[in-house]
Structure formats: C-alpha cells, structure tokens
Amino acid sequence: MAHYLFITWNGSGNQTPTLGAAQALRACGHDIAFAGYASQRERITRHGFRFTVLEKANAALHHATGGDFIATTLAGVWATAAHLDDVRDATARETPDVLVVDCLLFGALAAAELHHLPAVVLVHSAPGLQVPPEGPFEQLVLRDPVNTLRAAAGLAPVATMWENWAHFP
C-alpha cells in the first residue's frame, strides 16, 4: 500500500474533509501521516494519525505582523517561503509516495513543484465559491505574494492562482 503525507493547515473549513479523506485512505490499508501547524496536532493525533509540525511555517505564522487575519495568514500560511524547507524536510522524514497538499498552501505546492514531488491538490471547498477565479481576492491579495514566493523558489510566475494547481492531478 501507499504512504500519503497530508500537508495542511486549520482554516477555510478544510479539516473535516481532509481528515475524512485520510480516514478513507487508511481504511483501504494505506499509511497516512500529516504535517501542519502546532494548533492542529491534538485534533489530528486524536484520530490516530502521525503528525509533524511544519516548524518554520509555524514560527512564521506566530511572528507575522500586521494584526489582521489576511496579512498574518499570507505571511505564515498561504504564501510563506517557509514551506519550501518544511515540505522538503517533512518528505525526507516521512518518505511518502504521494503528498496531499491543501489547495491554499501555495508555498507547499511550490515546494512540491520545485522538488518534483508526486502530489495531489486537495480542494476542500468548491473552487470559485470563496475565491472566484481572477476575482479581487485573487488579484489584489494572493497573486503578488504567491509570485514573490515562486520567484524565490526559482519558479515561473502565475497569472491566476488556479495555475498553481495545474502541475498536479
């Protein structure tokens, strides 16, 4: 059976569908582990899964300034360059066959792309419902920080956030 490593965070209603997918894979005999933020450890381990903290991203989240949710989440979760090292380190420890990456973790997706890691994108909410393609949230909030992150990783910029998913099934 395969070994899956879920790269996740605790937001946008993702935890219940993520845990459900992991439980379904485990019921089929697959080995499952998680890497995420310290605030998730108790909930994930309570379901019997191994859990590793994404140390650099967790620290970036706690040291993010700006005071508002969007700025903090961009700096520590959605577009953090810390995921580049954290995902590499987590895959070195866990040696998964497949990464299952939350659709909003653009740094983790960049790490998978950069290191040619086999990965799938877990889209836990209807695409476009919360963030319409090419809408103001994508264009004004996400695009520049995500492209700055991609440039730091030596990856090409994207015109839309959905292009981040195009590298993975």
Q: Is 41 exposed, middle or buried (0-12, 13-18, 19+ CB in 10 A)?
A: middle
Q: How far is CA 37 from CA 69, 141, 167, in A?
A: 16, 22, 25
Q: Considering just the CA atoms, what is the radius of gyration of the chain in Å?
A: 15
Domain of residue 43, CATH code: 3.40.50.2000
- Domain limits for position 99: 3-167
Q: What's this model's pTM, rounded to 2 decimal places?
A: 0.93
Question: How confident is the model at residue 32, as a pLDDT?
Answer: 99
Q: Quick one: pLDDT band at residue 132, thresholds 50, 70, 90?
A: low
CB-based contacts of 33: which residues, under 8 Å, 6+ apart?
3, 4, 5, 6, 49, 50, 51, 52, 94, 96
Distance separating alpha carbons of residues 9 and 86, to the nearest angstrom: 13
| Confidence category of residue 135, pLDDT binned at 50, 70, 90 | confident
pLDDT digits (tens, 9 = 90+) for 79-126: 999 999 999 999 999 999 999 999 999 999 999 999 999 999 998 876
* pLDDT at residue 141 greater than cutoff 80: no
Average pLDDT along the chain: 91
Q: Number of folded domains in the chain?
A: 1
